[in-house]
């Protein structure tokens, strides 16, 4: 398998399997639903969904906008989401993977 570059370091792509906790991404991602993410991606675009860490916990949120090496994430269900509106921008090194299944892009 060819090694990909991730922020300048070679990596082997890995799949991540996670279960959605809470309703912050409803209705596109329901509580208890499984998602598959991949830890290698080339770009981060608004509308895409990623898994990242904040305060030692993994979160699944949608990209609202990017600025250099930082990303502003929001949940789809704004009334029930703890996201960048509350904790600010997220550094790229906190991103674990891009959700590739189910397809939940805008």
| Residue 1 clears pLDDT 50, i.e. is over it | no
Q: What confidence tens digit (pLDDT) does each residue in 14-49 have?
A: 999 999 999 999 999 999 999 999 998 889 999 999
| Residue 5 clears pLDDT 60, i.e. is over it | no
Give the domain ranges of the chain. Answer: 15-101
Helix (H) or strand (E) holding 84: helix 84-87
CA distance 32 to 100: 17
Q: What is the CA radius of gyration of the chain?
A: 13
Q: Looking at domain 15-101, what is its CATH homologous superfamily?
A: Umud Fragment, subunit A (2.10.109.10)
């Amino acid at each position: 398998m060819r090694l990909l570059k991730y922020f300048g370091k070679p990596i082997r792509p890995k799949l991540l399997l996670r279960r959605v906790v809470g309703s912050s991404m409803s209705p596109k991602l329901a509580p208890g639903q499984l998602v598959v993410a991949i830890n290698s991606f080339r770009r981060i675009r608004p509308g895409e969904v990623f898994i990242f860490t904040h305060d030692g916990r993994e979160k699944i949120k949608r990209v609202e906008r990017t600025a250099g090496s930082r990303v502003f994430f929001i949940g789809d269900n704004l009334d029930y989401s703890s996201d960048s509106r509350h904790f600010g921008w997220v550094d790229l090194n906190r991103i674990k993977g891009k959700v590739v299944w189910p397809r939940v892009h805008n």
